[in-house]
Amino acid sequence: MICLGIEGTAHTFGIGIVDSRGNILANVTKTYLPKQGGIHPREAAQFHAANAKTALVEALKSAKLKARDIDLVAFSAGPGLGPCLRTAATAARALACWLDVPIISVNHCIAHIEIGRLIEGAKDPVTLYVSGGNTQVIAFDAGRYRVFGETLDIPIGNCLDVFAREVGLPHPGGPQVERLAREGENYIPLPYVVKGMDLSFSGLMTEAVRKYKDGADLRDICFSLQETAFAALVEVTERALAHTEKREVMLTGGVAANQRLREMMRLMAEEHGARFYVPPREFCQDCGANIAWTGLLAYTHGARQRLEETVVRQRWRTDEVDILWR
Amino acid sequence: MSLIKKGAEANLYLEDFSKVLHPAGAGKVIVKHRVSKEYRVPQLDLRLRESRTALEARLLADAKVAGVPTPAVYEVDRTGMRLVLEFVEGERVKSVLDKLKPAQRHKLCRLIGMQIARLHKAGMVHGDLTTSNMILTKNGKVYFVDFGLGEYDRSLEARGVDLHLLKRALQSTHFRIADKAYAAIIAGYRDELGKSADDIIRRAEEIERRGRYVPREERTWT
């Protein structure tokens, strides 16, 4: 069976093609870059619509397949930005109708975990999923992916991006902050907020901006911002690991590209004797292959949907989805 | 010393009273050692361990005064980042809650709710209310342990977060019975706190709705 997956939850429009043995035949992504400021949902959606056809043609070409070879269409139904989700859903429905093949909606967060399990061979990890739109600590238990910790306000990627914008660094801010942080030497105390297993980054972000306005060295602030925010993320993951007594840790999402976060997570995993996994960058970021593989897993384990059930859900929770394949 | 639990932020050791404190003493004690984390920058590591050790000792003592069973604090070592605590024998509520008969479970949850109310009334929040942090003893007492994330905070928000976190912990660990257990906890909480509980319960619901992954205002058109 060959599944084509469409990703479109935020700034990336992606088409991936996988077969039922887990071979990734194509993975094409088109990424919207705002001219100024952050992601504008409507502009991002228009970008997706404008790039959908090219992405599809490129994906089929790279997989050396004809459209008729596709047996199943999967798409990201949430969580994400409404206009983007609806655009990707429309593309998926049109394609499924035209090809007369089944369609299946996929939870974006779960897709990140499943591609990691496929590619890295992790069996049952505690996953820290960190991106511009999401921050969750997730572990599997009794048929569902349970959320052990999550942000109470803004995601970590958003915290870094908005901070960067406020101090005049270009979008996306994460890599800029990371680069400057490497040159920082002095740790400036910033609010460290862990509430049980949950996190909060809005106060941290505001305070970091204030320190900048008060004249502190930007490199030191970037360093301190990363150290404080990441320590909180790693602590919550560590708590989930201790609580669930699992033996594997996985880091994924766009912020997984950050080398310092990787190092901290690796040190934590080692201390607990757990194996540590980070999927390759291509699959940490949003892409169609994640969606295609997860849709294929669901379909081959009995999930079915009628077209009118393929509704998008901007705030679709990870722990609402029954995982039929585990 | 024998390591009995390697937690996320501290190691717990079981040790003889006579070895740690005084040769005349009998029985066992718990030594809670907040270990340094290699992944943290040293300044932050020191700040977190020191403040949590000192604060936890005060909270444990004050909670007991407020009528919430907690292990007695025998010693506070702020340079070694160690607490010496009474060893409480019993079972973690985490491992018994699902197994109890509904009536017993209801009773236990009400008691937990009452104890949370006593903490809040005395100006404290626990900060990490999970069933792993509650020990049920043979005589039916529920000890609250691990105040490492606790605070002195009388605000509506802090109390609301405390309740919300417990609800989330129930949903992730005891998902089959989470709703009923939480309802019983809230009933006990309201019993103990009276009318002022309503604002806090409402705030906890509001915090839940505020969350990032909560369905709301979703448009009907797709």
B123: left (phi over 0), alpha (psi -120 to 50) or beta: left
Query: Is there a single domain that holds both residue A195 and residue A150?
Result: yes
Nearest to B44 among A227, A239, A313 (CB): A227
pLDDT at B220: 40
Query: In this predicted structure, what is the pLDDT of residue B222?
Result: 37
Please give the ipTM for the structure prediction.
0.87
User: What residues of chain A score a pLDDT lower than 50?
Assistant: none
For residue A326, is it within any domain?
A: no
Q: Write the CATH number for A149.
A: 3.30.420.40
Give the per-residue pLDDT at B211: 63
Active site amino acids of B:
128
Strand ranges for B35-162 from DSSP E: 73-77, 82-86, 91-92, 124-125, 134-136, 142-144, 151-152
* Nearest-angstrom CA–CA distance, B141 and A36: 59
Is A196 close to B149, i.e. CB distance below 8 A?
yes
Domain region containing A209: 122-282
Structure token pair of residue A66:
């004809």
Asked if residue A66 is part of any domain, the answer here is yes
Min Cα–Cα distance to chain B from A8, Å: 14
A-chain residue closest to B125, CA distance: A195
Q: Is residue A117 part of a domain?
A: no
From first to last of the 222 residues of chain B, give the pLDDT tens digit.
Answer: 789 888 888 999 999 999 888 888 888 999 999 999 999 999 999 999 998 999 999 999 999 999 999 999 999 998 999 999 999 999 999 999 999 999 999 999 999 999 999 999 999 999 889 998 999 999 999 999 999 889 999 999 899 999 998 998 899 889 999 999 999 999 999 999 999 999 999 999 988 877 655 554 443 443
Beta strand residue intervals within chain A, DSSP E: 2-7, 12-19, 24-31, 72-78, 103-107, 126-130, 135-141, 144-150, 194-195, 198-199, 248-252, 275-277
Q: How far is CA A3 from CA A6, A8, A13, A312, B97, in A?
A: 10, 16, 17, 20, 43
Q: Which CATH superfamily is domain B91-210 in?
A: Transferase(Phosphotransferase) domain 1 (1.10.510.10)
Distance CA B196, CA B201 (A): 9
- Whether the CB-CB separation of B16 and B7 falls below 8 Å is answered with no
Number of domains into which chain A is organized: 2
Distances (CA, A) of B196 to A39, A117, B105: 43, 48, 25
Q: Do B219 and A148 touch (CB under 8 A)?
A: no
A16 domain-assigned: yes
- What's the pLDDT score for residue B218? 42
- The shortest CB-CB distance from B8 to any of A79, A146, A235 is to A235
Q: Do A153 and B47 touch (CB under 8 A)?
A: no
pLDDT value at residue B213:
57
**A79 preceded by a cis bond (ω within 30 of 0):** yes
Q: Which CATH class, in words, describes the domain spanning B2-86?
A: alpha beta
Cβ-Cβ contacts under 8 Å, A203 against chain B: none
| A48 shares a domain with A72 | yes
Of A156, A136, A155, A154, the closest CA to residue A146 belongs to A136
**Backbone φ, ψ for residue B186 (5° rounding):** -65, -40
- Whether B43 sits inside 8 A of A187 (CB atoms) is yes
Give residue-wise pLDDT tens across range A171-229.
Answer: 789 999 999 999 999 999 999 998 778 899 999 999 999 999 999 999 999 999 999 99
- Mode of pairing for the β-strands spanning A2-7 and A72-78: parallel
- CB of B100 within 8 Å of a chain A CB? The answer is no
Domain limits, chain B: 2-86, 91-210
- Same domain for A90 and A210, yes or no, is no
Cα atoms found within 13 Å of the Cα of residue A162, Cβ hemisphere only: 18
